[in-house]
């Protein structure tokens, strides 16, 4: 494991999943640290922050889980800490709080319907080196989490969130690793019912709670020994505002908040400029919940910085970075602190078309240990770096590849605690 450096500057990891490249740059100036070629990151599974200032992603073409140590590159070393074979196309990626035990689910890839039932369990610290075992579950678009805690007889629990029919399927991670060759089918030791439209997962390592976003609200469960115990769901309605549906969940480890963005409005994707968007938040310790109106259009990404939470909003009338001030943990209510215009993209989503088919998009990244927010400009090979509190654009970083479809970004600061959100983003 790489030893964290408390004096190193933050690092931006920019993955161009279309061109097959991963770029590492020192911030804020953008000095190149390394360029990895032939790496086609799974855009859907995203980046997963791990303890020790590491970050993982899945290479969908190579069929590998890749663990990066970006600050090793800053010291002139090899940024690739490990590469482990996994089943692809990757749908979701998650780790236990210690960052040792991981799972990778598979989904659609470029197909229109789910076709793969493969799940891979990974042990990054197995005797003799990293180890991975693929097994079969059931076809779908599954979410994933790996819960720590429990006694020696249980160890980490791998929880797979299925749809249609909806369920949380609970497996001992050790059982998955011990499965034989040939990708055998596995059955969960326990199954908790969920609505069939689950889309969005989060795991809070502090309380051990598991969350799933559904049309009716956020379903919750907690670990009790080797089992999951369901808890009352959280409603989307708050602050006198109702309607909308969240399609992702994200843990803010600094402020102890669970975040989503609620999308409402017309069902037809061609009417996306009229979609409504509310930032939804729930305090994990006090139970307080609220909503903040962000504006119309497509809100596709969010990121957590040191003193701000950032959303990127796309709209034919102009794109913007929306910055929310959330206050210290347990105090205050999130509010909009700034709206910062973003330069337009050639090939951006337009009225009458969908906001994701054959168009450019924006990726977003921040670190809970740094003041920076990075926003990509898909197709232009550019990343805009903003100071979240002053709202100023500090740098416009130019990459050697175009970042078609927006790419994917991760921003790391030494010791930032980002692994407190142990799911790929």
pLDDT for 326 equals 84
Closest among 415, 418, 314, 319 to 366, alpha carbons compared: 418
- pLDDT for 329 equals 62
- As a whole number of angstroms, the distance between CA 353 and CA 272 comes to 8
| Separation of alpha carbons 317 and 340, rounded Å | 14
Query: What residue spans define the domains of the chain?
Result: 11-420
Which H or E run includes 72? helix 70-74
For residue 258, the SS3 value is strand
Assign a CATH topology to domain 11-420. Answer: Methylamine Dehydrogenase; Chain H (2.130.10)
Give, in degrees to the nearest 5, the angle at Cα 60 between 56 and 62: 95
DSSP-based three-state secondary structure for 187: coil
- pTM exceeding 0.75: yes
Query: What is the predicted pLDDT for the residue at 327?
Result: 73
Please report the pLDDT score of residue 165 as a whole number.
95
Structure tokens at 219: 């379903």
Q: How far apart are CA 174 and CA 348, in angstroms?
A: 45
Q: How many residues does the chain have?
A: 425
**pLDDT single digits (tens) 124-152:** 999 999 999 999 999 999 999 999 987 77
What's the rounded Cα separation, in Å, for the pair 214 and 200?
8
Query: Which residues of the chain carry a pLDDT beneath 50?
Result: 1-5
User: What does residue 113 show for φ and ψ, rounded to 5 degrees?
Assistant: -130, 145
Choose among 121, 229, 115: nearest CA to 172: 121
Paired strand residues for 245: 263
User: d(Cα 214, Cα 198) in Å, to the nearest integer?
Assistant: 5
Whether the CB-CB separation of 314 and 263 falls below 8 Å is answered with no
């Amino acid at each position: 494991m790489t030893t964290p450096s408390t004096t190193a500057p933050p690092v931006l990891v920019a993955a161009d999943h279309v061109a097959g490249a991963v770029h590492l740059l020192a911030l804020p100036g953008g000095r190149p640290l390394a360029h990895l070629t032939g790496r086609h990151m799974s855009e859907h599974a995203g980046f997963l922050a791990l303890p020790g200032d590491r970050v993982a992603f899945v290479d969908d073409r190579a069929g590998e889980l890749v663990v990066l140590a970006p600050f090793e590159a800053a010291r002139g070393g090899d940024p690739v800490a490990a590469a482990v074979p996994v089943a692809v196309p990757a749908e979701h990626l998650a780790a236990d709080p210690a960052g040792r035990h991981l799972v990778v689910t598979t989904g659609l890839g470029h197909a229109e319907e789910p076709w793969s039932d493969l799940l891979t369990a990974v042990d990054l610290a197995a005797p003799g080196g990293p180890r991975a075992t693929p097994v079969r579950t059931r076809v779908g678009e599954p979410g994933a989490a790996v819960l720590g805690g429990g006694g020696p007889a249980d160890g980490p629990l791998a929880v797979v969130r299925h749809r249609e029919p909806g369920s949380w399927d609970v497996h001992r991670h050790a059982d998955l690793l011990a499965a034989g060759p040939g990708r055998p089918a596995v059955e969960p030791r326990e199954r908790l019912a969920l609505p069939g439209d689950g889309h969005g997962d989060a795991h809070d390592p502090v309380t051990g709670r598991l969350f799933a976003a559904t049309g009716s609200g956020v379903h919750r469960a907690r670990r009790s020994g080797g089992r999951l115990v369901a808890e009352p769901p959280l409603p989307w309605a708050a602050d006198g505002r109702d309607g909308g549906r969240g399609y992702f969940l994200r843990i803010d480890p600094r402020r102890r908040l669970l975040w989503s963005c609620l999308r409402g409005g017309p069902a037809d994707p061609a009417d996306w400029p009229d979609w409504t968007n509310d930032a939804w938040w729930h305090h994990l310790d006090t139970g307080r919940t609220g909503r903040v109106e962000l504006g119309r259009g497509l809100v596709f990404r969010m990121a957590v910085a040191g003193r701000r939470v950032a959303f990127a909003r796309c709209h034919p009338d102009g794109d913007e970075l929306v910055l929310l001030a959330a206050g210290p943990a347990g105090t205050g209510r999130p509010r909009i602190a700034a709206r910062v215009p973003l330069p337009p993209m050639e090939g951006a989503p337009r009225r009458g078309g969908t906001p994701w088919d054959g168009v450019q998009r924006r990726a977003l990244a921040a670190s809970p240990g740094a003041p920076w927010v990075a926003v990509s400009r898909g197709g232009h090979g550019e990343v805009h770096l903003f100071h979240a509190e002053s709202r100023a654009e500090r740098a416009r970083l130019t990459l050697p590849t175009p970042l078609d479809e927006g790419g994917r970004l991760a921003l790391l600061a030494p010791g930032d605690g980002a692994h407190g959100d142990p799911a790929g983003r």
